[in-house]
Amino acid sequence: MQKNRTTHSTTAKLAVAGLLTAAAVAGSLLSVPVAGSKCAPVQHMVNVFAAVILGPWWGVGIAFCASFLRNLMGIGSLLAFPGSMVGALCCGIVYHFTKRLDVTCIAEALGTGVLGGLAAYPVAKLLMGLEPGGFTVYMIPFFISTLAGSILAYIVLRVLEKSHVLEQMREN
């Protein structure tokens, strides 16, 4: 009986992860170019959703898959990898330990904006052949993108929390 329940749980998590990945890819069509990067706030909203519903490692996997698909489709850049994955890990870990939505959204914004922005510099320089204007050049555009996505996630998840839908999603 336990094995069957674990299989159902993993299958349900994979289905949610697939939906969140699809939302991140489709949502990237709503991107704004800022300082050489494509700011996609939906990806950051998805990062917070994944942190709250599935956990940190699922969030990193979703961020990787969405970045990979966006690059394959020509609607993303290599800068999507450090920005989305670092933010997903940060907010996932923070939610895991605090279970606080507000702190999780702040962790997404700081993880993507600061750490992801810093991690984007070597990606741009070494893998993309760009000459960024400085080590911190991607921090502001990443922060703008993630701030919008984090605020959106906070609003939607608070509504889901108040209606007890979030509670049901976590149980399944």
Q: What is the pLDDT of residue 5?
A: 57
Domain at 2-171: CATH code = 1.10.1760.20
Q: Give residue limits of the domains in the chain.
A: 2-171
80-124 tens-digit pLDDT = 899 899 999 999 999 999 999 999 999 999 999 999 999 999 999
Burial 64-81 (b: 16+ CB within 10 A, else e): bbbbebbeeeebbbebbb
